């Protein structure tokens, strides 16, 4: 209960403190390339329940169709603003929303289709805050 209260307070104030930066980044993404502002990647959360994570979009629209899931600094799918966001990890700031709404992050191994049972078998079912 105390940990959850801590999560709510700090993610809420974190969003308030960074709100001007968040709006600026959102506008830059919109002016830089067409497509949504947020990337909503699939993750496995509390009790194995899937959810979509909030991150700023750093790649061109439909980037998954153009290449693999991981990116290098010279990936041609990165937008101009996306390169800067990745370099300084500013694309991660919207994850404060996930903490506020109580989504916990667990990236599936080897793609997005993993079951809770397979994670238990691998011994990798650990939940950490985004």
Average pLDDT over the chain, rounded to whole?
A: 81
State the Cα–Cα distance between residues 6 and 12, nearest whole angstrom. Answer: 10
R_g (Cα) of the chain, nearest Å: 16
Q: What are the helix (H) ranges across 33-75? A: 63-66
Residues 96-113 have pLDDT tens digits of 998 898 876 545 444 444
pTM over 0.85: no
Residues 50-92 have pLDDT tens digits of 888 899 999 998 887 787 776 777 788 999 999 999 999 999 9
State the Cα–Cα distance between residues 118 and 109, nearest whole angstrom. Answer: 10
């Amino acid at each position: 209960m105390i940990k959850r209260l801590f999560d709510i307070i700090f993610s809420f104030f974190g969003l308030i403190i960074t709100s001007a930066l968040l709006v600026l980044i959102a506008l830059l993404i919109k002016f830089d390339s067409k497509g949504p502002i947020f990337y909503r990647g699939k993750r496995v959360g509390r009790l194995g329940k899937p959810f979509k994570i909030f991150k700023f979009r750093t790649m061109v629209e439909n980037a998954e169709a153009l290449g693999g899931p991981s990116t290098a600094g010279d990936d041609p799918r990165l937008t101009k603003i996306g390169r800067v966001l990745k370099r300084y990890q500013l694309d991660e700031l919207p994850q404060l929303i996930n903490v506020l709404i109580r989504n916990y992050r667990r990236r599936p191994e080897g793609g997005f289709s993993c079951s809770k049972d397979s994670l238990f078998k691998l011994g990798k079912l650990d939940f950490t805050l985004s």
